[in-house]
Amino acid sequence: MSFTETLVILVVAMIVLGPKKLPSAARKVGHWMGMLRRASDEFKRQVMSMDQQLDDRLNAAAGDLDALAPTDEELAKQVNDTLDEVEAALGAPPDHSPDDDWDAEPVPGGLPPDPPPSAPEPPEPAPPPREEAPRPRSLGLSPTPKAPAKEAPRG
Q: Is 140's pLDDT higher than 70?
A: no
DSSP secondary structure of 61-85:
HHHHHHHHSPPHHHHHHHHHHHHHH
Q: What phi and psi values does residue 147 have, to the nearest 5 degrees?
A: -75, 145
Q: Is residue 98 part of a domain?
A: no
Residue type, 110: G
Q: Is residue 84 part of a domain?
A: yes
Q: Is residue 42 part of a domain?
A: yes
DSSP structure class, residue 118:
P
Quote the percentage of the chain above a pLDDT of 90.
27
Q: Is residue 97 part of a domain?
A: no
Q: Is 118's pLDDT higher than 70?
A: yes
Start-to-end CA span in the chain (Å)? 98
Residue-wise pLDDT tens digits, 32-57? 999 999 999 999 999 999 999 999 99
Q: What phi and psi values does residue 144 have, to the nearest 5 degrees?
A: -130, 150
For residue 34, the enclosing domain spans 23-91
Residue type, 115: P
- Determine contact, residues 93/83, Cβ cutoff 8 Å: no
Q: Is residue 126 part of a domain?
A: no
Q: How confident is the model at residue 107 (pLDDT cuts 50, 70, 90)?
A: low
Q: Is residue 134 part of a domain?
A: no
Residue type, 13: A
Q: Is residue 37 part of a domain?
A: yes
pLDDT, position 135? 67
pLDDT, position 117? 75
Rounded CA gap, 105 and 30, in Å?
Answer: 99
- Determine contact, residues 138/132, Cβ cutoff 8 Å: no
pLDDT, position 139? 60
Rounded CA gap, 64 and 83, in Å?
Answer: 30
Q: Is residue 51 part of a domain?
A: yes
Q: How many domains does the chain have?
A: 1
